[in-house]
Structures are given as C-alpha cells and as structure tokens.
Amino acid sequence: GAGVSQSPRYKVAKRGQDVALRCDPISGHVSLFWYQQALGQGPEFLTYFQNEAQLDKSGLPSDRFFAERPEGSVSTLKIQRTQQEDSAVYLCASSSMSGGETQYFGPGTRLLVL
Amino acid sequence: AQSVTQLDSQVPVFEEAPVELRCNYSSSVSVYLFWYVQYPNQGLQLLLKYLSGSTLVKGINGFEAEFNKSQTSFHLRKPSVHISDTAEYFCAVRPADSNYQLIWGAGTKLIIKP
C-alpha cells in the first residue's frame, strides 16, 4: 500500500514568508509525528498527534511553528515569518498504534530559507 | 535525559567486507533501541529494533545488532556489504517510560568502495 507522503518535496522561502508543509500518513494510522532534521544531524522531535489530538508539542522551537491534524489524517506544519535557522528537512512519520514502536517515515520536505 | 552517540560520521568499507557501525547511549531509565536506514532521497526505514529478550537482534538486508547493557551499546553489523548498502544509518532510543519519544544519533554514512 501507499506509504507516508509529504509535499512539497522542496521549498525555497524568503525570510519572513509563511510556509505550510503537508503530510499524508498511511491510511488508518493513529499516530503522527513531525521531526526537524538539520544538515548532518539526526531528526529532532517537534510534535505528536494521536488522531486529531496534539498530545505533545514540546519540541516546537518557537511560537512561529504550528501543527494541526483536524480530521485525524492529513497534517500540516506551518511556519510563520520564516528565519534562516528554520532551514532543514522536515520529516513526518506515522504509526498504527497509539505511540507506536515502528514509525513509518515520509521522504521529507527540504526547506531553504534565504 | 537520554542521548545517543554515533561516533563515526562516515565509515568507508570495501564491497564484500564486514562492517560495524557503532552506537552508544546514555539513559537513567530502561530504553528500547532502534536502527533506521536512509537511502538517498528516501525516507527513514526501520532496519531492526530491540525491545526485550535475546540481545542479538536480526533485521532486514542481512543486518544484525547486539544490545550490550553494561557497555550501553547497540552496534550494528553486517558480515558482507554490497554497493546497495550505501546509505546513512541512524541509531535511536525510546525511553521505556515514553510510548513514542525517539531520541536520535547524528547518523553514520556508510560508503561502499568497489
């Protein structure tokens, strides 16, 4: 079946611009995760959804970052007033269980802020 | 707090030679351990995981890892690598008191020399 998909795959934004990154999880997966991966680093946790409920947003780096999953499937990560330090790959993952041992990852969105 | 250290940022190895990718972790609580692989332009894919039981874990593509509690290590091994194993490998831990939080190492690039 289809895996996790993310769009766009690449995004170039001017500093100060708002961006929206989309994640389509595997159908029926309860849990959804967003990670930020800087160049040469491992992923860093941003936020976690169980269905439509955002249970943990402790990793969001500032109040410019906002995530939602209104119907418990597709999720959007929004970054307002982008800064150069926001440049990174944004990864989405989903899992079938609440929490979930095996997280299935999308290919990521590479964001470059100029 | 937990942390994961992958000491080698790159490991070059000749095709058909054995390889070991090192992972050490620090944690005040019990952890579950994971290895993920990221092929070029693809999402992260689970290679293997240790939850409990036998400390030697076998994964996909001929990889295996051994959990050593006294050394706080979870090194990944393959007896004979192929050119198709060229990828970046990430070690991650999940604290036993969390049902979703993953803490990641910085990754090791496996470079296969013909």
Cis, peptide link before residue A8, omega less than 30° from 0: yes
On whether the CB atoms of residues B4 and B92 are closer than 8 A, the answer is: yes
Containing domain of residue B49, as a range?
3-113
Q: Residue B89's domain is classified under what CATH number?
A: 2.60.40.10
The residue-averaged pLDDT of B40-48 equals 89
Question: Considering only A8-12, A98-102, B13-17, B23-27, which range has the smallest mean pLDDT?
Answer: A98-102
Using a pLDDT cut of 70, give the percent of chain B over it: 100
Which residues of A sit within 8 Å Cβ distance of B? 3-4, 31, 33, 40-45, 48, 56, 91, 93, 95, 98-108
The residue-averaged pLDDT of A89-111 equals 87
The residue-averaged pLDDT of A39-56 equals 93
On whether the CB atoms of residues A111 and A89 are closer than 8 A, the answer is: yes
Quote the tokens at residue B1. Answer: 């707090």
Q: Where are the domains of chain A?
A: 5-96
Counting the structural domains of chain B, the total is 1
Q: Which fold has domain A5-96?
A: Immunoglobulin-like (2.60.40)
Nearest CA in chain B to A59: B101
pLDDT in tens, A17-40: 999 999 999 999 999 999 999 988
Question: Considering only A4-18, A74-88, B35-49, which range has the smallest mean pLDDT?
Answer: B35-49
Nearest CA in chain A to B35: A102
pLDDT in tens, B60-113: 999 999 999 999 999 999 999 999 999 999 999 998 887 788 899 999 999 999
